[in-house]
Amino acid sequence: MAGDMSIGCAALKRSSKLRSCTSAADTDSMRVPSDHRDNGSLVKPPPVPPQNMRGGLRVYKIVILGDGGVGKSAVTLQFVSHSFLDYHDPTIEDSYQQQAVIDNEAALLDILDTAGQVEFTAMRDQYMRCGEGFIICYSVTDRHSFQEASEYRKLITRVRLSEDIPLVLIANKVDLESQRRVTTEEGRNLANQFGCPFFETSAALRHYIDEAFYTLVREIRRKEMQKALGTDSNSEKIHTGRRSRWWRIRSIFALVFRRRRNLN
C-alpha cells in the first residue's frame, strides 16, 4: 500500500515489521539540550537518554491511533511526503521518519502508523509501550470512530499507567463537510476531557497536518521539561500504593543526583 508511494528525501519509510522499544541502531552519543530558564533561575534539563538519539538528532517516537478508515495513513503520508493517499488499503503497521525543525530545534520524528482494523490490532499494547507521544485520530464523517477515540485514550492510560502522556486529538476529513456526523464543539469537548490539543484536519487538503505533528513534539518537550523540574502533577495519579512509594524514593534519588551534578 503505502510502500508504493514515493517519499520525499527528508522522509524515510522503514520496515513494517514490529520494532522493539529500543534498538542498537537507536544508540548514539549523549546530548544535553540548551539550558532553560525557569523563574529567572537557570535550570539544566536532564541529558536526553542515548536511545532517543539518532545521527545526533533527538528522535521523537510518535504513534498514530484510531479506527479503521479514519485517515491515519493519509494524514501520515501527507506529513512525510506531501501527497494524498486516495484509496484505502488497511494498514498492518508502517513506520516513517521525518526530519523537522520545530521552534529552532531539529527533530527526527519516528512515526508508527498503526492498524485500525480489529483483525490487525494484536500488537497494540507493544506499540503503546514504545510511543513517547500519540495522535488519536477520528473522522468527522464517522460517529463510531469518534466514540472509539475515548477507548484509545483509555488503552494508553492502562498500558502506560499514567494519564500524563503527550497526546493530540485530530478530527480528520473536514473537507467532507456535507457528510459531517461529529461537530467541532464535540471534538473540542473531548480534547478538553483528555487535556490535550485538538485540530480538525484534512489529509486531502493538507489542512493542519504539520500543526498536529509539531504540536505533539512540543507536548513531548513540555512534559519532559516538567519532569525535569519535578512539576508533573499527574504522573502518580493512578499508580498503585506500592509503585507510588518506589516512585517517590526514585524521585528523591534523582533530585539528589541532579543537585550534586549541578554543584559540580
Ligand X SMILES: Nc1nc2c(ncn2[C@@H]2O[C@H](COP(=O)(O)OP(=O)(O)OP(=O)(O)O)[C@@H](O)[C@H]2O)c(=O)[nH]1
Q: Which is nearer to ligand X, 107 or 208 (CB)?
A: 208
Position 215 contacts Mg ion (CB under 5 A) = no
Only one residue has cell 473537507, namely 175
Q: Which of the residues 15 through 44 are near ligand X (CB under 6 A)?
A: none
As measured in angstroms, the least distance from the Cβ of 120 to ligand X is 8
**Among ligand X, Mg ion, none, what does residue 85 contact (CB within 5–8 Å per kind)?**
ligand X
Nearest to 154 by CA among 115, 190, 181, 113: 190
As measured in angstroms, the least distance from the Cβ of 87 to ligand X is 5
Q: 174-193 mask for ligand X (x: CB under 6 A)?
A: -xx-----------------
**Among Mg ion, ligand X, none, what does residue 202 contact (CB within 5–8 Å per kind)?**
ligand X
Contact with ligand X (CB under 6 A) among 7, 80, 115, 190: 115
Q: 144-173 mask for ligand X (x: CB under 6 A)?
A: ----------------------------xx
